[in-house]
A and B are shown apart, each in its own frame.
Chain A
Amino acid sequence: MLSIHNLHAGIEGKKILNGIDLEVKPGEVHAIMGPNGSGKSTLANVLAGRADYEVSHGTAEFQGKNLLELSPEKRAGEGLFLAFQYPVEIPGLNTINFIKTAVNEIRKYRGQDPLDAVAFLKLMKEKMALMNIEQSLLARSLNEGFSGGEKKRNEVFQMAMLEPKLAILDETDSGLDIDAIRIVSNGVNKLRNKENAVLVVTHYQRLLDYIVPDFVHVLYNGRIVKSGSKELARELEERGYDFIKHETSEVETV
């Protein structure tokens, strides 16, 4: 589904990713972990196509297409979704209208007819029940005055509405208490199936107690220096990132 080879990227002339290799198949959950500044968020943003980042080398294929050639909205159309670390506020823009526009723009990209008001509402009610989200939240302006937890729930609700093939969760746990993490994780787990994949970007292991990964990758200095099973995450939690820093010279990948 997603295959990244020797990806180098940076921002404003500063190199951040120094050769990433990653293979994600349908049905899999991958976790990208690493200390601050290791390039986790850069990887998420580069995959989503944020213009500030420049790719200097390497390839990224998504669903058989050259991901790096596509505009951000086309990547979304192809089924790539980024749950933002800091979802932006857009005052006055009704959340439901925003989601409806997004759903129909993506349908248009795929050559499908737009959903009419009735069909959209039906889909929305269905996903609201699944995600346990209240309409009162969606009736407000997009993310405006939302608490941290509400913003992240709104991200996962949008994910449910857009049904992406690949969802990238960028530090979705940051700033959330344990109850909020549980709610958000439950939402993500309900959306998992054989066809889609999830890339969880996180600093801490605790999110992975709820969204259990098939693979864990450790990012350090812009490279994946260690890959393993979910046990690797626990090891990192116990020993901290320092042991990775010591090992980097000896071990590249496992």
Chain B
Amino acid sequence: MKSEIFPVKSQDSGNGLSTIEKTVFSDYKYGFVTDIEADEAPMGLSEEVVRFISAKKREPEWMLEWRLKAYRHWLTMKEPGWANIRYPRINYQDIIFYSAPKQKINPKNLDEIDPELKKTFEKLGISLDEQKRLSGVAVDAVIDSVSIGTSFKSQLAELGIIFCSMSEAIREHPDLVKEYLSSVVPLTDNYFAALNSAVFSDGSFCYIPKGVRCPMELSTYFRINAENTGQFERTLIIAEAGSYVSYLEGCTAPMRDEHQLHAAVVELVALENAEIKYSTVQNWYPGDKQGKGGVYNFVTKRGICKGDHAKISWTQVETGSAITWKYPSVILKGDHSTGEFYSVAVTNNYQQADTGTKMMHLGKNTKSRIVSKGISAGFSNNSYRGLVHVSRNAKNARNFSQCDSLLLGDKCGAHTFPYIEVRNNSAVVEHEATTSKIGEDQIFYCNQRGIATETAVALIINGFAKEVMNHLPMEFAIEAQKLLAVSLEGSVG
């Protein structure tokens, strides 16, 4: 089947939308900087820097070789230009590729963590104190490049669950890392994945043994703090046969005038009958209302349903970053496996998002479901880009895709690029797309019922995004709802 392109540009209807206009400053409340001494690599990227990072992490030789292979391959690659985003060329020699808060490496327990660091996470509403965590969410906190502490570790260990930083996993569980690292996203997969493989400094590692249902949400919280640094984290989750895990990821960064680069790689492996639910609330600094500063977010996320009846579900709420380039995907290798992608992407001011998914149907009777909700405001540009691929042997594959766009104002853009490749006649692939605007009459209706415009907009967009929000874990959903409202604050009225 041929791919289709439906670009939709908003048009002013002339009358109705006069007050849906100027974008006012919306407060980014995570924009503070923590004053922590950092241990940094020299600026720029070279083989020496890769060696420096590996040495800093006290990595085994095989890991260094792996990084160097990635680095050398990266040198031969070109930055991709196909996405619907515009940005000045990134100078990779102007970036610090490794920055670690100066503190005792490997705190034995959470009490040994620098109080300044702890305070940072408290300010963000994340407590690393196990006693204080009533909600039962285990947290791994990563600041700049390094994991600073993981909570609830011992309780999880009793079930055989490994939840630790990636650095620790490389040292303590080399066999698992060797077997699965880059098994889903190869070193050579794409420009940013190769870059990440060369310089990643930390991230989270998670292993759920056979038949174990992880009793709590596992969560990683990422924070960029230091100036001129990039954040390159690596996450690997392995769910053995019959196991289940729900994983949450949150991110923020300080407000800075210059752009920061974030290039992460996330790999998920679900074996037979296993289920991985991966939720992201991405709130990197989006830049100011003139489009100055903000995080460039180039992320490769991919999962493989390796065994039969496996299931992988991505849910993302993307409100931050100046640029988002991200396509959490699922390789449906096992028969009867299921892939899901639920996304809300909000762009305001001069933000640009090109995000979507790839569903690769390889096994028989595989199913995938895509629900994408794009909300654009200000001068922003929001694109959905998705591929549904049904291979020759994927008998009875089913896909349903729905892509809805909501426009606030008349200077933003919404685009849909759905690609469909079907090589097996038994496949059923459905695609639906809609574009709508928040209407003056919807807002007036709410106003007439005593509801002020800001609240009205929040109600309308949360209604629009509800189908996706319903897939977030409860506690996260409430946060995400508030975040949606905050991201669009001042964009109407």
Q: Which residues of A contact B (CB under 8 A)?
A: 12, 48-52, 71-73, 75-77, 81-82, 84, 87-88, 90-94, 97-99, 101-102, 105-106, 109, 141-142, 158, 162
**Contact between chains at A51 and B19 (CB < 8 Å):** yes
Contacting residues, chain B, for A48 (C-beta < 8 A): 448
**Contact between chains at A101 and B451 (CB < 8 Å):** yes
Contacting residues, chain A, for B448 (C-beta < 8 A): 48-49, 72-73, 75-76, 81-82, 84
Q: How far is the CB of B16 from chain A (nearest CB, A)?
A: 8
**Complex alpha-carbon distance, A142 and B445, angstroms:** 11
Contacting residues, chain B, for A77 (C-beta < 8 A): 450
Known: A12-B15, A102-B451, A162-B450. A92 touches B445 (CB 8 A): no
**Contact between chains at B450 and A102 (CB < 8 Å):** yes
**Contact between chains at B459 and A93 (CB < 8 Å):** yes
Known: A105-B451, A158-B449. A91 touches B441 (CB 8 A): no
B440 within 8 A of A: yes
Which residue of A has the minimal Cβ distance to B442? A88
Interface 1/0 per residue, B267-311 and A, CB below 8 Å: 000000000000000000000000000000000000000000000
B452 within 8 A of A: yes
**Contact between chains at A76 and B450 (CB < 8 Å):** yes
Contacting residues, chain A, for B444 (C-beta < 8 A): 50-51, 72
| Contacts across chains A and B counted by CB atoms under 8 Å | 83
Cβ 8 A contact of A93, one of B15, B440, B463:
B463
Which residue of A has the minimal Cβ distance to B14? A12
Contacting residues, chain B, for A49 (C-beta < 8 A): 447-448
Contacting residues, chain B, for A81 (C-beta < 8 A): 448
Q: How far is the CB of B342 from chain A (nearest CB, A)?
A: 14
B370 within 8 A of A: no
**Contact between chains at A88 and B445 (CB < 8 Å):** yes
Known: A102-B449, A105-B450. 8 other contacts (CB 8 A): A50-B444, A76-B449, A76-B450, A84-B445, A91-B464, A92-B464, A92-B465, A162-B450
Q: How far is the CB of A140 from chain B (nearest CB, A)?
A: 12
**Contact between chains at A88 and B455 (CB < 8 Å):** no
Which residue of B has the minimal Cβ distance to A107? B450
Q: How far is the CB of B12 from chain A (nearest CB, A)?
A: 14
Cβ 8 A contact of B442, one of A50, A76, A90:
A90
Known: A49-B447, A84-B445, A105-B452. A91 touches B463 (CB 8 A): yes
Contacting residues, chain B, for A90 (C-beta < 8 A): 442, 445, 459-460, 463
**Complex alpha-carbon distance, A49 and B443, angstroms:** 12
**Contact between chains at B440 and A101 (CB < 8 Å):** no
Contacting residues, chain B, for A141 (C-beta < 8 A): 463
Which residue of A has the minimal Cβ distance to B451? A105
